[in-house]
A and B are shown apart, each in its own frame.
Chain A
Amino acid sequence: MKWGIFFCVLIIIGVIILYEWKTIKTYPKKDRITFFILLIIAGALSLFDLPNLPGPVTLLESIFQPFGNFMESL
């Protein structure tokens, strides 16, 4: 866990909320919820050490492994 990155992302998220606050208030509830959920996901992801965390591409690699082996054998 790298606190420096986390706090940087928190500051960026804060700036985004401040910047969008006036316009976001006028949008319907669904838009506001999506906006905040996406920001929460972004904040949560920055807590992890992303380059060393198994992610979507690890999943894709295991799904396409037979094809990958085929490509490497060419």
Chain B
Amino acid sequence: MDKGRISSIQMGMMMYLTILATAILTVPSITAKYAKKDLWLSPIWASIIGFFTVIIVIQLSKRFPRQSFFQICEHTIGTLATKLLGFLYFTFFLIASGQITRTYAEFIKVFFIKTPVSVIMITMLLLSAFTVIAGIEVIGRVAQLFFPIFVFSVFIIIFLLLPQLEPSNIFPILENGLLPSLKGAIIPQIWFGELFLIVFLLPSLSDSKGMKWGILTVLLILVTFIITNITVLFILNQNTEFYIYPFLSATQLVNLGDFIESIEPIIIAIWILGTFIKITVFYYVTILTTAQWLKLSDYKPIVWPIGILIVEVSFWAVPNLMVNNHIDITVFPFLFPIMQTFIPLFILGMAVIRKKSKSLEI
């Protein structure tokens, strides 16, 4: 459908920004609520889902090279079930994109108090829509451009925070056993599961290193997760859970010789860069899902109509921030793994069984 080609490194960068852009700000606080001082251990458990998802998706694409996700489904579970699955994924990605756009808008609204939420969302979606129309190649290149800025800024902030760090905050390790850190992993696994999106990018890869870079991306995300969580823990200690955006609050403490201080606008700027990639990738995947589900000849005409739908769904699904935080804890930790890990696993299982029964027939 999309003739553009990206390299697997660009795919890795896209996924890195897609996952970390929102995770870096909100996840430490949610993790700390359950894991308390073991919050730096939780990403390790959560990343298991990430590795698992990448392996499932890569195995699927190895069995059916250069085929879209719904074509794979048709080969394994039949046309009718695929149509139903297509509808489920369409609504799922619509809700996910709406929720992401809304979270972005609510964060920006903290600084732009008088601007209506809809204006913030529409301006961002307008930009994303143009990028989506330009195709996967442009999204890949934009991600490649923003990736070094994002990583460099995060690590320069951590470097500037070095004088404030108190490594003794890490003790006691595993005070109440492993269970709190495992509980804390329930929420971050949503973000690791988002690596499922590579199933839509794999057919556009120009090389065959998808497996290598997929696994490397999970590792890089894991390392960044652990580093940010440890930084937040070293600075805010057990108070981490009471901040909505702990990394932002930690950044406000940067003070080098009364000269370098108040650098939190940098983190807001890099967060916007990252979220732009995140919204664009989700927007692109929503459109690709619709086009592949309905077997359209091109995805470009539906970009604008879906854009309006995303704005409307973001108001429909997320009426206010209270509901947003509530569904983040009660619905998404179950919905996301089902859609992103277990359904692909089921399809992979079906593919394996079908192949075996076919070889037996012969």
| A residues lining the B interface (CB < 8 Å) | 9, 12-13, 16, 19-20, 23-24, 27-28, 30-32, 34-35, 38-39, 41-42, 45-46, 50-53, 55-57, 60-61, 64-65, 67-68, 71-72, 74
Structural contact, A35 and B305, CB atoms closer than 8 A: yes
CB contacts (< 8 Å) of B318 on chain A: these are 57
CB contacts (< 8 Å) of B327 on chain A: these are 57, 60-61
CB contacts (< 8 Å) of B290 on chain A: these are 34
Q: Report, nearest first, the 4 A-B pairs whose CB atoms are least far apart.
A: A68-B330, A38-B305, A51-B319, A42-B308
Structural contact, A45 and B330, CB atoms closer than 8 A: no
Structural contact, A35 and B331, CB atoms closer than 8 A: no
Stretch at the interface among B76-84, B156-164, B291-299, B354-362: B291-299
Structural contact, A50 and B316, CB atoms closer than 8 A: yes
4 new A-B contacts, CB < 8 A, other than A30-B296, A50-B316, are A38-B309, A42-B309, A50-B312, A60-B327
A44 to chain B, nearest CB (A): 10
In the bound assembly, the distance between CA atoms of A42 and B307 in angstroms comes to: 9
In the bound assembly, the distance between CA atoms of A39 and B329 in angstroms comes to: 33
A45 to chain B, nearest CB (A): 5
B134 contacts chain A at the CB level, 8 A cutoff: no
Partner of A57, one of B34, B305, B312, B317: B317
- 26 inter-chain pairs at a CB distance below 8 angstroms, sorted by A residue, are A13-B308, A16-B305, A23-B300, A23-B301, A24-B301, A27-B298, A30-B295, A30-B296, A31-B301, A34-B294, A34-B301, A34-B302, A50-B315, A53-B316, A55-B317, A56-B91, A57-B95, A57-B316, A57-B323, A60-B327, A61-B331, A64-B331, A65-B330, A67-B330, A68-B330, A74-B186
Partner of A42, one of B296, B312, B334: B312
Contact count band on B: 35 or more
In the bound assembly, the distance between CA atoms of A39 and B306 in angstroms comes to: 8
Partner of B305, one of A27, A39, A52: A39
CB contacts (< 8 Å) of A9 on chain B: these are 308
CB contacts under 8 Å to A, within B247-302, are 290, 294-298, 300-302
CB contacts (< 8 Å) of A53 on chain B: these are 316
B135 contacts chain A at the CB level, 8 A cutoff: no
Structural contact, A64 and B316, CB atoms closer than 8 A: no
CB contacts (< 8 Å) of B333 on chain A: these are 67, 71
Structural contact, B301 and A41, CB atoms closer than 8 A: no
In the bound assembly, the distance between CA atoms of A28 and B318 in angstroms comes to: 36
CB contacts (< 8 Å) of B91 on chain A: these are 56
A15 to chain B, nearest CB (A): 9
Whether A56 touches B330, Cβ cut-off 8 Å, given contacts A16-B305, A45-B309, is no
CB contacts (< 8 Å) of A46 on chain B: these are 312
